[in-house]
Amino acid sequence: MMGYGWVHQEGSVVPFLVTEFAQFGTLRQYLCSENISIRACFDLVGQVACGLREVHDSTVVHGDLKLENILVFKNASPEHENHVIAKITFLPQNASKLPSRVQQQIYVETKRYALDGEGEVAASAYLKLALMHANCFGTTFDMEAAEKYTKDSMSLGSTSAKTLLKLLRRSGSCERDVSVDLLERQNVSLAQDPTPNLCRLPMETNKPLEDRLDQAKDGVISRAQLKEFRCFSHFCVEDGEDADVLPLNCLPFFDGDDDEVSESIVEGTLSEKEDTDLRLPFCPVGSSLGLAVSVAAQTAVKLRLQSESDPLEKPLPGLTTESNLEGLSSLELAIAYHRTVQFNFLWNSVIQSGRAAELSDALASGGIKLFRPMALLSRLEKELLYGHGRRHAQYSIVREVIAQVFELRTFLCAPTPEKTEESQEFKAPGLSWCSQLCNGLSDVMALHDLGLAKDIWATCHELAGMNCSDIFTPVQRRQLVDAAIGVAAPINMDICRSIEFIEFATEISVDLTPSAEFLATRETQTQRTKMAVTSFGI
């Protein structure tokens, strides 16, 4: 930035910034003028995330991140590499220079956050906007687009949600995180009011607000989400104090914000409580890139909520010095922790944008490895969720299987996919993703987690049923049968548990010729069962 100033526009004094010339203009202009490939979009997402990391490391919150505020340069110059962070603060005494609508937004929002118990009104509006944007409901002001999206996507969406929920519940986490809450509530009808009527909840009740929100009938809102938005109030000005930065506002993080939406938020949400639910939901225009940018910015605070500390503070309290994680920024930590949720949202956005085939081709060719690398277990997740040496092996296997389910869905979502052995190859070292998923299932059974193995098996067939094809080859199914028999065969194995594994192996081996080992194990355990029954006189 080279400078800033003010200009008169329609009776208001509007601030402007002077920057170095950007050959491609703003990110919105660039995306509209160029035919950007999916791979280039993800590269841009990474660059924006790196920029946010630099800003957050300087303890600056952008507060107005949108496509118009991101400049695209043709080539990086030495000046760009040696950049500095500039922060302009609008102190209360200078606020009179701002347009009246912005003044109202700043002061009314700040007042509501500062007063105990009134910030939930703004949180309700922002959560509804976030939900609409994340699901790409379009631009209508009624629920027609939302209902259409729900009907078109719930068959696939509920399958994936249930699978991931089962996997995450078994991942060993002692605390329910935002991933579990979001997935669990995907089974609630989104065509109805997706958030509770916050402004009509009795404020005098002794029950905490989070407990009142965490109910299935109230929709998809969760305690973790509310905490995330409450965290934004830490940056707002309390009465009588000067502002170091502008109060955070979630609205500018969305691609489709415009004057009409902004004015409605100010008038309906921040001024009159009773009008909040009459004016919402709004349905901003979404894009995969805009969504990724907004998610990356917002998740910068999520990890810090675990320790209830300043999202921009580092190092993270509670981490041991041996973990060597103190130097990571909050954005890096947060993205590592919530990567699965982020890319699930991103995937849905790409599907709705009509570019699913392009993304699927890039994934199948190995040009983009989107889900699997992002779902792998990180050192940070081990440190935060488990400490040292506690159930690492099981958790790592579960996360790997989650990644394979994502890739399975990616492959099957493509319009008229050609499921050949070549298209299944994801540039893994000699293994197709089907083989990796088979190995993951075998590992889960080796851990004696039969319930999880059954869930994964059923979900794979439910997904494959959409294309009337099977997932695993006969060789891979025999591998799964051998894994189940390997658990059931030992003589010291509990008889009932052994029979359960044998029954699961029988289900897997339908239309396959049973192996000699399978028949021998089944006969041995059957005889053990008969002997046990006889000994009890049954």
pLDDT in tens, 304-330: 333 333 333 444 334 333 334 445 444
Domain boundary assignment for the chain: 3-88, 100-170, 288-414+427-468, 473-537
> Mean pLDDT, to the nearest integer, of 51-76?
66
Phi, psi of 61 (to 5 degrees): -100, 125
pLDDT in the model for residue 64: 56
Please indicate whether residue 432 or residue 211 has the higher confidence score (pLDDT): 432
Asked if residue 345 has pLDDT above 60, the reply is no
pLDDT in the model for residue 22: 84
Render the burial of 395-428: b for 16+ CB within 10 Å, e for the rest: bbbbbbbbbbbbbbbbbbbbeebebeeebbbbee
pLDDT in the model for residue 248: 25
**Range picked from 250-254, 366-370, 418-422, 440-444 for highest mean pLDDT:** 440-444
The domain 3-88 is classified under which CATH number: 1.10.10.10, 1.10.510.10, 3.40.350.10, 1.10.3720.10?
1.10.510.10
The β-bridge partners of 8 are 13
DSSP H stretches of helix in 58-143 = 78-81, 100-114, 119-134
Asked if residue 358 has pLDDT above 60, the reply is yes
pLDDT tens readout for residues 220-241: 222 223 323 322 222 222 333 3
> Mean pLDDT, to the nearest integer, of 398-404?
62
Closest CA to 126 of 203, 229, 28: 229
Lowest mean pLDDT among 119-128, 238-247, 330-339: 238-247
Contact 288, 346 (CB under 8 A): yes
Please indicate whether residue 202 or residue 508 has the higher confidence score (pLDDT): 508
pLDDT tens readout for residues 170-199: 433 333 333 333 333 333 322 233 333 222
**Range picked from 21-30, 275-284, 331-340, 428-437 for highest mean pLDDT:** 21-30
> Mean pLDDT, to the nearest integer, of 92-120?
39
pLDDT in the model for residue 454: 80
Asked if residue 98 has pLDDT above 70, the reply is no
